[in-house]
Amino acid sequence: MAGERRIIFNADDFGLDPAVNAAVVSAHRRGILNSASLMVSATAAAEAITLARKLPELGVGLHLTLVDGVPILPAAQVPDLVDGHGRFAADLWKRGFRYFFLPRVRRQLAAEISAQYAAFADSGLSLDHVNAHKHLHAHPTVLRLLIEIGKRFSLRAVRVPREPLGLARQLAPVSAGTALGARLLSTWAGGMRRVIRAHGLLCNDLLLGLQSTGQMDVRRVRRALAIAPAGQLTELYFHPAEEQTAALRELMPDYRPVVEWQALCDSALVEELCAQGIRTGSYRDFARG
């Protein structure tokens, strides 16, 4: 519908920590959260799956994790993807280069991506969407494998990390250095969108909150609602938690997960969405539409 504003409110890192899981449940039950992206290899993933099975209206997708986490497969099967501690290596530039040029590494990457899809399928949850931690699916090799393998697991929607700089600046100040990266990512995301749609898959047009990651308080969410354009599918994404545990603080010291959770549960925002006639839902809801 050309004049309709359509928005998905999504929580990343579902399964990372019990405090994240609790925030997803409460923000869905009494707030504006429509969907969540599950890290299948994270420490609290089993709890997240149990909780999600009791929330049939929550669209749960796969948060493909290839950095800042551990693989599903034994480290010995993916030695080129992990460091000496068995965690995904953090040197993304080097890893990205190897993904692109080394067939051995691509085979390991494909095996791990397949294993994460299979782990999600074993949960019994319906696959709402797929995206990647740290937006690593912007890498062309990862995106290709995500789509090719995903088709075996009923993939229907993929996130595009596209936030035009003009919109990002309406949510928060953007430094000159960050602006350059934002322009490059936005340009690259346009190509991602073409690839995803060429495969007959649904994707969002915009991702608001990208440059405000971890800082989406009520004021910024309200501003995002005001600037979300009609006729496009917009995703607002969050990293909520009911408390900033020691583990979350170590992983994301600059994030404000409790503030984001509070924003998602704000009763006034629930009323504003209804008053403004904004249509909300998960990817599967918009795929049906």
Residue type, 132: A
Mean pLDDT (the chain) is 92
Taking each helix axis from N to C terminus, what angle separates 140-150 and 103-122, rounded to the nearest 10 degrees? Answer: 40
Task: Check residue 44 and report its DSSP letter.
Answer: T
Measured between alpha carbons, how far is residue 140 from residues 98, 153, 192, 214, 272 in Å?
12, 20, 8, 26, 39
Work out the pLDDT band at 176, boundaries 50, 70, 90: low
pLDDT value at position 111?
A: 98
Higher pLDDT, 90 or 228: 228
Mean pLDDT of 167-181: 75
Give the span between the Cα atoms of 173 and 100, in whole angstroms.
Answer: 34
pLDDT value at position 275?
A: 87
Mapping DSSP to helix (H, G, I), strand (E, B) and coil, where does residue 283 land?
helix
Q: Would you say residue 174 has pLDDT above 80?
A: no
Work out the pLDDT band at 107, boundaries 50, 70, 90: very high
pLDDT value at position 274?
A: 85
Structure token digits, residue 280: 């909300």
Higher pLDDT, 11 or 274: 11
Mean pLDDT of 162-170: 88
Work out the pLDDT band at 92, boundaries 50, 70, 90: confident
How many Å separate Cα 124 from the centre of its chain?
Answer: 20
The verdict on pTM exceeding 0.85 is: yes
pLDDT value at position 178?
A: 67
Superfamily in which the 6-288 domain is placed by CATH: Glycoside hydrolase/deacetylase (3.20.20.370)
First vs last C-alpha separation in the chain: 10
pLDDT value at position 165?
A: 83
pLDDT value at position 217?
A: 96
DSSP characters for 125-168?
-----EEEGGGGGGSHHHHHHHHHHHGGGT--EE------HHHH
Q: Would you say residue 181 has pLDDT above 70?
A: no
Higher pLDDT, 182 or 132: 132
pLDDT value at position 91?
A: 76
Higher pLDDT, 55 or 91: 55
pLDDT value at position 56?
A: 96
Domain residue spans in the chain?
6-288
pLDDT value at position 168?
A: 87
pLDDT value at position 265?
A: 97
**Residue showing tokens 């404000």:** 256
Mean pLDDT of 55-64: 97
